[in-house]
Each structure stands twice: as C-alpha cells, then as structure tokens.
Chains A and B, each alone.
Chain A
Amino acid sequence: DAKTTQPNSMESNEEEPVHLPCNHSTISGTDYIHWYRQLPSQGPEYVIHGLTSNVNNRMASLAIAEDRKSSTLILHRATLRDAAVYYCILRDDYGGATNKLIFGTGTLLAVQP
C-alpha cells in the first residue's frame, strides 16, 4: 500500500477555513484517496474520498493535485466540533477486494475559539 505523509498537528481559529495537506508521491493509478477523522474518545468516521477530480460533500471538500501526488482536505468554516485527528488514507479500490484501511498517525487539528 502506498504511504501518505501528513503534518503531525495544525491549528485553526473557529469559523475560518482549514486546509489539511497530504502527500502521497507513490500513489498508483487505482488508489482512491480517503479521509477519515477521529473525534476525541470516539471511533473514526468517514469524511470524503476521491480519485482524480475535486469532490465536495456536506462535511468538506477534497482538492486533488493534477499529478495526484498530493491532496488537501478543506474545512470551509472550522467549528470547535471539528477538533480531531484527520487521517489521509490511500486505498486500492480496484484490485483490493476487502476495503481495508491502513491508518497512519494523521494530523491533530486544534480549533481555537
């Protein structure tokens, strides 16, 4: 499985946008980019995923570089509830038949009021 690199921690102010970067220089053509987040003392939850095009949903936006070697999760207006560890995960959704997720250590996002 291709690896991802994320900053250990980031800070944001409430109601401001947050851009969480992820580098994945060894990504393969069949790897989807998945983002999950883990709120304190909870299990992870799905945020968003994409392959090549930018994606939007009610939680966030995902911007994918043209060469796919990096991506950015965008929270448009951070709230205190968005304080969590954010995981960027590559998953081979063609050859892999199991939907397995390989977690790194993620980015700890702190949101200041």
Chain B
Amino acid sequence: EAGVVQSPRYKIIEKKQPVAFWCNPISGHNTLYWYLQNLGQGPELLIRYENEEAVDDSQLPKDRFSAERLKGVDSTLKIQPAELGDSAVYLCASSRGSLGGNEQFFGPGTRLTVL
C-alpha cells in the first residue's frame, strides 16, 4: 500500500512570496492532518480534516495560512505571504479516524526555507 505522499520535498522562497504544499493521504483514510515541525521539536498540529470538513483549525494562523481538501482526498496547504519565521518542515499525516483506529501515518514532509 502506498504511503502518504507529499510534494515538493524542498522549497526555497523569498519572504512575502506565496507557497503551496500538496498531500495525498493513504487510500481509504478519511482523516488528514497538517503539522508544522520546527528543528528539534515535536510536530504542532495546524489543521485536521474529517473527509472534506476542517474539524480542528484552531492552531492555523488564518491571516496567512489556508488549507483545502475539496473532495475529501488530497489536500493543499498554502501560505501567503510567507514570513521568515515560517521556515520549518510541514508534515502531512492521515489516519482511518472514525472508520476505526487513531494511528497516524506520516509523509516525508516538505522542508520550507524562507529567505
């Protein structure tokens, strides 16, 4: 079974530019998560989807961050405009969620560098 796919793996942009990350979860997983991970720290949840509904976006900085999961499968996380402090690894994870099981499977992440 294919794992969680993320692209791109690396992105370097200048501050104030927009950037987008894409995630395709494991087939059949209805719950999708976006996390931010700073160097030497654990992941911080940004947003959680159940199918196409964002059920927890309390930690998403909505002034510059947005996310969508229109058909309840793949998802896009966008930052506009990016700031220097947004440099981090952005992780996507998926789980079966309400279908049974809270084990989360992670993608390789996108490492963002804002110059």
Query: Do chains A and B interact in one complex?
Result: no
* Interface of B toward A, CB cutoff 8 Å: none
Q: Could you list which residues of chain A lie within 8 angstroms of chain B, going by C-beta atoms?
A: none
